[in-house]
Amino acid sequence: MKYTQLGRTGLKVGRLVLGTMNFGPQTDEADSHAIMDAALDAGVNLFDTANVYGWGENKGRTEEIIGNWFAGGGDRRDKVVLATKVYGNMAADGEPWPNHDKLSALNIRRAVDASLKRLRTDHIDVYQFHHVDRRTPFEEIWQAIDVLVRQGKILYVGSSNFPGYKIAQANEIAARRGGTIGLVSEQCLYNLAERRAEMEVIPAAEEYGLGVIPWSPLHGGLLGGVIKKEVAGGRRASGRSADALANTSVRAQIQAYEDLLDKHGVEPGEAALAWLLTRPGVTGPIVGPRTTEQLESALRALELELSRELLDALDEIFPGPGPSPEAFAW
């Protein structure tokens, strides 16, 4: 495993991040534990989750599965950099209820304690805001975070799905207040087929010293060899991937991508991950394996070096927007 610093911090994390969103809804507890065992054995040390994972009436279930794994003993918890998120409504009855969601000081305090209980640990290494809260001022958010840091319940804070201006606003207010060091990471939608983050989000993250942790690195499976699998009679595209492939221009683009990688003898999913590892500011992409075999495929991407020729060809198929403001102005 190759390691890097998480943004401007002294925290060392692997260049592949284990996403756990499938634990519970698609992968049972025993298989989830096997995946975490395999990830740790491979040197993956940043595990990402969220309080709402498990979804619906099972929200919180994913954190419980991770907590049960920690309780298995050994030095699992000491080796893992644990990241979870707060924002979604966690009211027990499943009905929306005031103050059980978003980023008020009251909900942050409640959510941290509930996550710690489910995760069966005494602290969260990276506590992440899952979405922008347009109604809660950052002064209130940072006050709540300062208290939790002093209590030893959290160490670092990250964001997810933040636009560039909110990253700037959050860290400028943190700097004016003193105390917390502000945001140290940003999880954003970023992959070969979705490069809008290059316009504002990633430049803001680099300017303020945040590590970028891309989610959906295979763009919902579109970049994982979906057409090749269809032709071979394997798993067919479904959901958003199927809808996207119904667009003839998108299908032609994905076909060109798969043909290019076939020519170079590279697996599409591994190439998509390896491409992200070449991008400025990227700490490591989140992979959400449903099986240990999928984890093994993702790990192979760490050893894959893409030639300049191949990188240029990928840019031709999936051109990025370019830097701002030139991307939308002269």
Average pLDDT across the chain, whole number: 96
**How is the chain split into domains, by residue range?**
3-221+268-306
Q: What is the CB-side half-sphere exposure of residue 8 using CA atoms within 13 A? A: 13
Output the six-digit token pair for 329. 């102005």
Alpha-carbon gap, residue 310 to 22, rounded angstroms: 32
pTM: 0.96
Domain 3-221+268-306 has CATH 3.30.428.10: no
Give pLDDT tens digits for 2-26: 999 999 999 999 999 999 999 999 9
Residue whose tokens read 């001022």: 137
- Tell me the one-letter amino acid at 74: G
pLDDT at residue 263 tops 80: yes
Q: Which of 53, 87, 127, 156 is catalytic?
A: 53
Verify whether residue 53 is a known catalytic residue.
yes
pLDDT over 90 for what percent of the chain?
Answer: 90
The pair phi, psi for residue 189, each rounded to 5°, is: -70, 115
* 14 contacts 300 by C-beta, under 8 angstroms: no
Distance CA 61, CA 52 (A): 8
Tokens of 166: 């909110």
Bridge partners, 83 (sequence order): 48, 126
pLDDT, tens digit (0-9, with 9 covering 90-100), for 209-249 = 999 999 999 999 999 999 998 888 766 676 778 889 989 99
pLDDT tens-digit map of 91-118: 987 677 899 999 999 999 999 999 999 9
